[in-house]
Structure 1
Amino acid sequence: MATIQSAAEITPLLDRIKGQKIAALQVLGINSLKSLSPSPEALAGEVVTATDIVERIISINTASHIISFDLQRTGRVVLLEAAEPYRLAVGAVRPTVRLVMNDGSGLDLTEPAKTKRITVTIAARPK
């Protein structure tokens, strides 16, 4: 069984995306997206203003939205130096969530089990 990532291990990965523009947020786990409006597509072009992790819940803030990822027990964050939108390929391991940044980097949120438990919630910031 894989070791669980601590907040101290995840924080430097989140720090890498601060100040960057989001190119795409892909929620690939069939039951992972817990909000329908705004959609993940609404995040394209938004700049990440802040990130935080409390226990196993990651928050990514932009001027207009708050994105929350609950890693549950076994979710992991993987830094991608070269990321592009996920495309189904034979033998490829599918992440539950992929966040692609405009500079070509990104983050995958992955889980070792077949049952996908990472959840994603997108909320508009109050005006």
Structure 2
Amino acid sequence: MPELPEVESLVRFLDGRAAGRTVAAVDVGAISALKTFSPAPVDLVGRSVVHATRHGKWIDVVTAAPAGADVSPVHLVVHLARAGWLRWYEQVPSTPVRPGRSPIALRVRLDDGSGFDLTEAGTRKRLAVHVVRDPAEVPMIASLGVEPLGDDFTVARLAELASARNQQLKGLLRDQHLIAGIGNAYSDEILHAARLSPFTLTRSLGADDVARLHGVVVQVLTQALEASSGRPAAELKDAKRRGMQVHGRAGQACPVCGDTVLEVSFADSALQYCPTCQTGGRPLADRRMSRLLR
């Protein structure tokens, strides 16, 4: 799933190429991806792209009407979910989008022939497209937590979040209502760098632990953003994989200590960690709601 660094890089890439262009056509390839009906996707046609921005893991393409028309902005808001992506074209293919016959959920063509597809692989379709007057109309955006690279994300704020409810640390980092933009991959990376078990209970953290975790969150996300910044959209997935220390590397050597990276599997996801760096050398039980083996 694209997370904050990749989504921010996609937004910057899109903003640099689409801003100032006019939407020439919008084709829906998967009606299931469209979560709103008014405004309709066709209502974007003729509007100019003002800029692209981000809310957590959500992409927001802001459009404005021609002078003298409806002056209120219309937002194309997208959540790529686990298997979604944005594919940019300098020249959009002339072949029509065939609903149900390709991975294309939505195609946007701009007035200079460039544009992008929103695609989704696999059979579990979760990509979400909203066309709205205000991003806050999307409940998941309205309820997003603090941006971890924003000024509001302070050590004190993290301490408040950690003490509000006694939950597993990985759950805190992934909860979009608390901290926006961190998912499965970067939570693994953050916890590894902070030398903390994913199953550590948040209320057990001391002041030094919270301060260290805060610093690592900012550092890991900043470094990932710097590594992906300026890359074409097509290169971002590979750049993310190359930057991982433990996530997706079960069975490989930890680059810090050399121990073998282990995995805990759940029904539809998995986490990776280093026993030496994070759990005092003890493996975690590989089952749902796992606790340290005794």
Q: Offset at 1:73?
A: 1.9
Question: Residue 37 of structure 1 aligns to a residue in which SS?
Answer: coil
Unaligned 5+ runs, structure 2: 65-72, 135-294
RMSD after superposition = 2.3
Residue of structure 1 aligned with 2:122, choices 106, 113, 120: 113
Once the two structures are superposed, residues 5-31 of structure 1 have per-residue CA deviations (whole angstroms, 9 ceiling, x without a partner) of: 712431343121011000122221131
Partner of 2:59: 58
Q: Normalized against structure 2, the TM-score is what?
A: 0.38
How far, CA to CA, are the matches of 1:107 and 1:49 in structure 2? 16
How far, CA to CA, are the matches of 1:68 and 1:4 in structure 2? 15
Q: Offset at 1:121?
A: 0.9
Q: Is the 8 A contact 1:24 1:85 kept in 2?
A: no
How far, CA to CA, are the matches of 2:8 and 2:78 in structure 1? 16
Partner of 2:7: 7
C-alpha change, 1:87 and 1:7, in structure 2 (3 Å) is: closer
Q: Is the 8 A contact 1:7 1:54 kept in 2?
A: no
How far, CA to CA, are the matches of 1:109 and 1:9 in structure 2? 16
Partner of 1:87: 97
- Which structure has more helix as a fraction of its residues? 2
Structure 1 segments of 4+ aligned residues over 2 angstroms from their partners: 53-56, 84-88
Larger Rg: 2
Q: Is the 8 A contact 2:27 2:97 kept in 1?
A: no
Unaligned 5+ runs, structure 1: none
Q: Offset at 1:106?
A: 0.6
Q: Offset at 1:67?
A: 1.4
Question: Residue 72 of structure 1 aligns to a residue in which SS?
Answer: coil
C-alpha change, 1:96 and 1:10, in structure 2 (3 Å) is: same
How far, CA to CA, are the matches of 2:63 and 2:89 in structure 1? 21
Q: Is the 8 A contact 1:29 1:116 kept in 2?
A: no
How far, CA to CA, are the matches of 1:55 and 1:80 in structure 2? 25
How many residue pairs were aligned? 121
How far, CA to CA, are the matches of 1:11 and 1:56 in structure 2? 10
How far, CA to CA, are the matches of 1:111 and 1:55 in structure 2? 19
Q: Normalized against structure 1, the TM-score is what?
A: 0.81
Q: Is the 8 A contact 1:24 1:100 kept in 2?
A: yes
Map 1:33-72 to 2 at 5 A: 33-63=34-64, 64-72=73-81
Amino acid at match of 2:24: A
Question: Residue 31 of structure 1 aligns to a residue in which SS?
Answer: helix
How far, CA to CA, are the matches of 2:7 and 2:31 in structure 1? 26
